[in-house]
Amino acid sequence: MIDYFTYWYLFPVSIGIAILAMSAGISGSNFWIPVYLIWLKIEPKTGFWLALLTMIFGFGSGVLKNLKQETINCYIVKRYLRITIPAGILGTVLVPFAPAQLLIVIFAFFVFIYGASTIYRCCNGRVEEVKSHETIYWARAALAGFLKGLIATGLGKLILPGILGHKKIKSPGEAVGSTVVVIFVVNIVAVLFRLNPSFIAVLSANATDILRILIWVAPGVVIGGQIGPAIARRLPVLYMKVYVGVLLIFVSILMFLRAFALF
């Protein structure tokens, strides 16, 4: 008989992670990868896929919430999906061949520096007013989509700053909401393109544990996905920058732990 209460503690954890990810418009896999690989000690390949699958539940809930509160800009979403989807597919296809540990360490350095510099500018009164522009950052979006497909993270952190200043974005909450939609769609693509015959066999062998995890995680991230967008909608630009900066530093620490846990 299956003990469905084995992972009950993941329910409150999943609510917290979903709130953090949704309110900042960054990838929830930043938090789920350390949880699955370090805390639960799940095999890396399965852990990465499970993190992506978990995000579909949470970000799907977030998309619905943002639709309800009208904080999604379809123009921005369509433009960024044009490049992030094919880039995400490329990253996913290269998963079996890429040195994921090294990529995560390099990316963690970038995330830490970006987050720390953001907080430093805010605390020293060096936060410039977001200037309106009409630029779609294609190169940044391509890199973001590629990293999402390859290491299940990086998309939100890279595209959100560019989306925040676009002239069609009416508020920080709309920037976050639009980013959430992009992450959600690319996430689905990454999940599907990882499903080759050999990996499906691995998932089948671990189906019981995956089910026991998802029955607690799925409802938790759905609940958190409803709360996060409401927080993002009420955060002023200055507070959002500090908030995201703190989250990024936390993310970098988790990513370092995840990387060195596999060395």
**Reported pTM:** 0.83
pLDDT, tens digit, for every residue of 115-150? 898 788 778 765 556 678 889 999 999 999 998 998
Phi-psi map region of 198: left, alpha, beta (phi>0 left; psi -120 to 50 alpha): alpha
Nearest to 22 by CA among 243, 248, 230, 242: 230
**pLDDT surpassing 70 at residue 73:** yes
Q: Name the amino acid, one letter, at 241.
A: K
Q: Name the amino acid, one letter, at 134.
A: E
Q: Can you give the pLDDT at residue 228?
A: 77
Question: Considering the chain, what percentage of its residues have pLDDT values greater than 70?
Answer: 90
- The set of residues, in sequence order, having a beta carbon less than 8 Å from that of 48 and lying 6+ positions away, is 29, 33, 95, 100, 151, 152, 194
Q: Name the amino acid, one letter, at 176.
A: V
pLDDT, tens digit, for every residue of 167-205? 999 888 899 899 989 999 999 999 999 998 888 998 999
Q: Can you give the pLDDT at residue 254?
A: 80
pLDDT, tens digit, for every residue of 33-58? 888 988 898 887 788 899 999 989 88
Q: Could you give the maximum distance between any two Cα atoms of the chain, in Å?
A: 59
Q: How would you class 224 by CB atoms within 10 Å of its CB: exposed for 0-12, middle for 13-18, buried for 19 or more?
A: buried
Query: Which sequence spans correspond to the domains of the chain?
Result: 10-260
